[in-house]
Amino acid sequence: MNKISFRRVYASGIEIVYLLERKQVKNINLRVLPDGSVRVSAGSWVDVSQIDDFIVSKAAFILKAMRRQEALAEYEEKYQKELEKARAGEENALADPEIFREILDELYPAFIPYGIKKPEIRIRTMKRCWGSCLVNKGIITLNRRLLAKPRECIEYVVMHELCHFVHPNHSKEFYSFMEQLMPDWKERRNVIRI
Ligand SMILES: [Zn+2]
């Protein structure tokens, strides 16, 4: 029989409420759902104080996961409008092309430890892609049409191209590197994917 209860613990003064479900499971299992809620399952023989201690010991992970879920929800809300516009084929007014260099300057420092020289930016109107790069020549080419897109999307394209200077392919390593530097890149890409 499953038993469900809410529990509340404090970790460095921060309250964490979690839903505890008693199940036939071996360990204490912890999940943070997309709505930011914390779910825990544990066997009926595990003492609640032991479960509370476990949650407190995982507080840093839980809070990080909760913040990430919150950030994603904010994105979805913020870019709902952009997505609708994109579907309707409407474009925003064009931003100043200087924004490309500004974004490059912001993102580039993360690549210095990899011994990468700051690439040059070229701007072209392209039909099939948002950006491309010539790693050996140190050039990133960006689509002029990006100037009608939200800054976060331009950041995503610049980040993608910069990551190619470390991994010049679309390998697993490339994507895990991208994920590390910009954990919400998929949400950003989705806005300009349509
Ligand atoms: Zn690529």
Q: Where are the domain boundaries for CATH 3.30.2010.10 in the chain?
A: 92-193
Q: Mind listing the pLDDT tens digit for each residue in 129-165?
A: 999 999 999 999 999 999 989 899 999 999 999 999 9
State the distance from the centre of ligand 1 to the C-alpha of 154, rounded, in angstroms: 14
Quote the ligand 1 centre to 103 CA distance (angstroms): 18
Banded pLDDT at 192 (limits 50, 70, 90): confident
CATH code for the structural domain at 92-193: 3.30.2010.10
Six token digits for residue 131: 């950006």
**83: its two tokens:** 């997505």
Interacting residues of 28 by C-beta distance below 8 A, sequence separation 6+:
40, 41, 42, 46, 50, 51, 54
Q: From ligand 1's centre to the CA of 149, what distance in Å?
A: 19
How far, in Å, is the centroid of ligand 1 from the Cα of 193? 14
Indicate whether 168 pLDDT > 70: yes
